[in-house]
Structure 1
Amino acid sequence: MTQQKQLRFNAFNMTAPSHNWAGLWSHPRDTAADYNTLDFWVDLARTAERGLMDGIFLADVFGVYDVFGGNADTAIRTGAQLPNTDPVLIVPTMAHVTQHIGFGVTANLTYEHPYQFARRFSMLDHLTKGRVGWNIVTGYLDSGARGMGHAGNRLHDDRYEAGEDFLAATYKLWEGSWEDDAAVRDRATGVFTDPRKVHRVVHDGPYYKVDGIHLAEPSPQRTPVLYQAGTSGRGKAFAARHAEAIFLNGQTRPILARAVRQIREQAQAFGRDPYDIRVFSGATVIVAPTRAEAQELHAEYRRYVSLEGQLALVSGWTGIDFSTFDPQQAVEYVKSNAIQSMVENLTVNSETPIKVGDLGTLSPTGARSPFVVGSPQDVADELISWAQDTDIDGYNLFRLVSPESLEAFVDLVVPELQSRGAYKTEYGAGTLREKLFPGSGPKLKASHPGAGFRYGAPVAGARRIG
């Protein structure tokens, strides 16, 4: 008998009143309007760790959703990912009240510099004792570019070229600037750090330049666990080369399976083990003790989803202004400078035409990923089946009504999966990387391109000071 694969889960959230489902903050039992309080995030972290989840995956977006109707009014009115705040700020507090759960933090490299960014994530890794990951994004909203003083966003593929350059610089800082035993903390001699073991990094790339030493001593993982969500052609290549965990969507099993297969094949072409990448699909789960109760809950939640707010989000994600479409009109493919893979999944990859109006509903079409409603047994059946059919490793659970949706999953679905051997019953030891890849150690695997920048490696790109 084939051994049951154990699924992995992240609680998918955002420091905003609405995340993937616009309008649900208005549900009378929802607490997401308190997104800007520490109590909201402390409660979430404790619930997710009680459910033995691998991580809390924090989305972020730089800019506002102003494609729909040519302005941001709808997003502002409905709370569609606005207001929002920097997710980095809440991670230390959540880490302080937990012991095991990891934190995948989205950060847009386009408006960062490697020198300051590397220090921030090294410190996060220290404060979490090695439980932090970076979700690498390059941005897709022109409004964010304009807010930062640019005329518009970089072209889609150019953003990934800049990402390659940014990562080369940060790998040099994280991996090559300090040797493991540089910080000696010798009280007797008064030497905190041995200067012979700290090295100057010089990076002269097409987008970023660095000349200096890394400002932070080595953290438990050095390089944080690297997440990525690119599934366009260029995005898959970038993810297959760098990512240790990938987040993707697909509203049907064939779409999802094809994306997973392509990523694993490309990883192998880069000399990596294709299963050195954990693949997470988005998932919307509505569960109750019985199937009938779950269906009633779905109908209840559905009434609070904002159609216009949802279309504002999808317009921003795709770069298509859906305010100009009839709700019964089918989505048509257009070349996009936003999230190309989403446009492709809604059009050329879809087995049936998708209507614009359906994109704004709490439904499988609106979810653009697995959408499961039912009893604990129903949900477990579907999640296991999707994983078997698509070769994903687990799920990012979309936020619905907070906190009850996550609590229901933890209280009802987790025990059901555990009873089938499809979910862990305790956390493993070590850092986030060690939990995701048991037996791997806390640092990047030798086959990962970032490991080539370690001090002493042939392409380390670091020079000793003095």
Structure 2
Amino acid sequence: MSRSRELRFNAFSMTAPSHNWAGLWSHPRDASINYNTLDYWVEYARIAERGLLDGIFLADVFGVYDVFGGNPNTAVTHGVQLPNAEPALIVSAMALVTKHLGFGITSNLTFEHPYQLARRFSTLDHLTGGRIGWNIVTGYLDSGARGMGFASGRAHDDRYDAAEDFLAAVYKLWEGSWEDDAVRRDRDGRVFTDPAKVHAVRHEGPYYRVDGIHLAEPSPQRTPLLYQAGASKRGRAFAAKHAEAIFLNGQTKPILARTVREIRTAAKELGRDPYDIRLFAGATVIVAPTRAEANDILDDYRRYVDQSGQLALLSGWTGIDFSTYRPDQAVQYVESNAIQSMVENFTLRSEQPVRIGDLATLSRVGARSPFVVGSPQDVADELIAWADETDVDGFNLFRLVMPESLNGFVDLVVPELQSRGVYKTAYRQGTLREKLFPGRDASLHPTHPGANFRRPASPAGNAVAR
């Protein structure tokens, strides 16, 4: 069955030896061991653009996974998202070798200040020609909070209260500090910027304060495209209000479809068009010319997934120490300051108990999201079915063995999707926002709360954005 909406894809990765599948860096054909080199990321970007992917979505985590066994030893030993490099620093190199590919960067606002983060993303938006997005996260690892000098992280809902305050401040900086025509670059008159069109921002919030002029001139998008991944009750409300693209998980179609409905309903109640948000489900895809060959690849990859490392990841994500569980035990619902939506999916929303041992395997259960293995026709059928039955707009493709897994998708699945009329055959022109929302301009949509801070053009006068 075909769709009326075009499917969209991001390559989903991390500047670390392992991402969602612990241990695959040890596969003899995997290049992720070179995660800290520009050559690795330049090739990654070229493959993604060759496949007309919408972007590369770079995950990040601030801290180490030390919930499993009460220490970080397993994560350290098996390269479980550690070492972990700063993702923003590699984007310029990838942008230089591509023309259309977008870049979603995860940055944790909890340990940032709006004034500095605003400049970083404005700079990246300039350097990429308007191809940058910010994945807004609030952090969930206490180890990161301790590393920054705090006793522990903020409580789950408090993190989102702080995020609301942070976003109000950066919206003022991005949208309200510089008018569109403030920068003149007048060589003859020796005037670079008209000071009457640059405005100080004053923000007095419960968590953050700003008093100053945004340090960057207006970038192509001003506010970067806004990603979010909150799927808990509080997270869904935050995402429905602020996000333009949301990353979701759900190990079955009914679980994922329910989350999609809740987000689109919440957006509508806030006065936004529910389809003014692009929803991406995480997906593990293994493809080969035939189904039998794809299953052989799956069997090969499975041997390299590190089960203890996978449980260390899951313990950090959920806040539950799975070292105290037997493999045949089912996950039990526990409230924590970690990723509540993941625990809900394993327990309250699951139709059957999810066993710990199954979560540590390269499998449908372990994937926590669509897990698709087969021929190009099989994969296309399944991805279209997930999109039709859940109402997602596309998928974030989990990194497996690089670069062969991404090459396989680009060379085999993309042509199959194109032949069915559900995938683009060329990039559209414009910024990342314009590509994701055809017919729009580069700025935030008027119904987005950030647009309320936009400053209209004025002939003169210095003012303060409030």
Q: State TM-score, norm by structure 2.
A: 0.98
Counterpart-to-counterpart distance in 1, 2:259 and 2:330: 23
Counterpart-to-counterpart distance in 2, 1:377 and 1:4: 19
SS in 2 for 1:136: strand
Report if the CA contact (8 A) 1:196-1:464 is conserved: no
Cα deviation per residue 1:43-76 (whole Å; 9 max; x = unaligned)? 0000000000000000000000000000000000
Report if the CA contact (8 A) 2:3-2:388 is conserved: no
Paired letter, 1:117: L
Equivalent residue number for residue 276 of structure 2: 276
Counterpart-to-counterpart distance in 1, 2:208 and 2:40: 37
Counterpart-to-counterpart distance in 2, 1:201 and 1:95: 31
Equivalent residue number for residue 372 of structure 1: 372
Equivalent residue number for residue 266 of structure 2: 266
Cα deviation per residue 1:22-41 (whole Å; 9 max; x = unaligned)? 00000000000000000000
Equivalent residue number for residue 331 of structure 2: 331
Over 3 Å counting, the alpha-carbon distance change for 1:295 and 1:146 in structure 2 is same
Counterpart-to-counterpart distance in 2, 1:102 and 1:147: 31
Equivalent residue number for residue 173 of structure 1: 173
Counterpart-to-counterpart distance in 1, 2:335 and 2:6: 38
Over 3 Å counting, the alpha-carbon distance change for 1:309 and 1:2 in structure 2 is closer
Equivalent residue number for residue 452 of structure 2: 452
Counterpart-to-counterpart distance in 2, 1:16 and 1:58: 10
Deviation (angstroms), 1:5: 2.7
Gaps of 5+ in 2: none
Equivalent residue number for residue 436 of structure 2: 436
Report if the CA contact (8 A) 1:66-1:143 is conserved: yes
Counterpart-to-counterpart distance in 2, 1:419 and 1:454: 42
Map residues 280-291 of structure 1 onto 2, 5 A cutoff.
280-291=280-291
Report if the CA contact (8 A) 2:245-2:280 is conserved: yes
Deviation (angstroms), 1:6: 1.5
* 1:299 lines up with 2:299 in the alignment: yes
Map residues 178-327 of structure 1 onto 2, 5 A cutoff.
178-327=178-327
Counterpart-to-counterpart distance in 2, 1:104 and 1:464: 31
Map residues 56-75 of structure 1 onto 2, 5 A cutoff.
56-75=56-75
Paired letter, 1:98: T
Paired letter, 1:195: P
Deviation (angstroms), 1:4: 3.7
Counterpart-to-counterpart distance in 2, 1:46 and 1:178: 34
Counterpart-to-counterpart distance in 2, 1:298 and 1:148: 40
Counterpart-to-counterpart distance in 2, 1:379 and 1:244: 27
Paired letter, 1:185: R
Deviation (angstroms), 1:15: 0.1
Map residues 112-127 of structure 1 onto 2, 5 A cutoff.
112-127=112-127
Report if the CA contact (8 A) 1:198-1:464 is conserved: no
SS in 1 for 2:284: strand
Counterpart-to-counterpart distance in 2, 1:213 and 1:4: 45
Counterpart-to-counterpart distance in 1, 2:162 and 2:322: 30
Report if the CA contact (8 A) 2:176-2:199 is conserved: yes
Give me the CA root mean square deviation. 1.1
Equivalent residue number for residue 6 of structure 2: 6
Equivalent residue number for residue 152 of structure 2: 152
Paired letter, 2:367: A
Equivalent residue number for residue 88 of structure 1: 88
Map residues 375-394 of structure 1 onto 2, 5 A cutoff.
375-394=375-394
Equivalent residue number for residue 395 of structure 1: 395
Deviation (angstroms), 1:277: 0.0
SS in 2 for 1:211: strand
Cα deviation per residue 1:120-159 (whole Å; 9 max; x = unaligned)? 1000000000000000000000000000000001000000
Counterpart-to-counterpart distance in 1, 2:221 and 2:372: 35
Counterpart-to-counterpart distance in 2, 1:261 and 1:329: 31
SS in 2 for 1:275: coil
SS in 1 for 2:275: helix
Counterpart-to-counterpart distance in 1, 2:360 and 2:61: 20
Counterpart-to-counterpart distance in 1, 2:463 and 2:412: 55
Q: State TM-score, norm by structure 1.
A: 0.98
Report if the CA contact (8 A) 2:2-2:422 is conserved: no
Report if the CA contact (8 A) 2:279-2:393 is conserved: yes
Counterpart-to-counterpart distance in 2, 1:99 and 1:135: 21
Counterpart-to-counterpart distance in 2, 1:120 and 1:391: 34
Aligned residue pairs, count: 461
Cα deviation per residue 1:270-312 (whole Å; 9 max; x = unaligned)? 1100000000000000000000000000000000000000000
Cα deviation per residue 1:150-199 (whole Å; 9 max; x = unaligned)? 00010000000000000000000000000000000001110000000000
Counterpart-to-counterpart distance in 1, 2:3 and 2:52: 21
Deviation (angstroms), 1:456: 4.2
Report if the CA contact (8 A) 2:280-2:392 is conserved: yes
Deviation (angstroms), 1:3: 5.5
Equivalent residue number for residue 420 of structure 1: 420
* 1:141 lines up with 2:165 in the alignment: no
Cα deviation per residue 1:216-264 (whole Å; 9 max; x = unaligned)? 0000000000000000000000000000000010000000000000000
Deviation (angstroms), 1:463: 2.7
Report if the CA contact (8 A) 2:226-2:244 is conserved: yes
Deviation (angstroms), 1:2: 7.5
Paired letter, 2:215: L
Paired letter, 1:414: V
Aligned identity (percent) is: 74
Report if the CA contact (8 A) 2:30-2:403 is conserved: yes
Counterpart-to-counterpart distance in 1, 2:25 and 2:321: 24
Deviation (angstroms), 1:90: 0.2
Structure 1 residue ranges (4+ consecutive) displaced by more than 6 angstroms after TM superposition? none
Report if the CA contact (8 A) 1:202-1:463 is conserved: no
* 1:19 lines up with 2:19 in the alignment: yes
Counterpart-to-counterpart distance in 2, 1:243 and 1:463: 29
Deviation (angstroms), 1:317: 0.1
SS in 2 for 1:274: coil
SS in 1 for 2:463: strand
Counterpart-to-counterpart distance in 2, 1:191 and 1:313: 54
Counterpart-to-counterpart distance in 2, 1:3 and 1:70: 47
Over 3 Å counting, the alpha-carbon distance change for 1:251 and 1:225 in structure 2 is same
Deviation (angstroms), 1:455: 1.5
Counterpart-to-counterpart distance in 1, 2:187 and 2:422: 50
Report if the CA contact (8 A) 1:336-1:343 is conserved: no
Counterpart-to-counterpart distance in 2, 1:90 and 1:3: 35
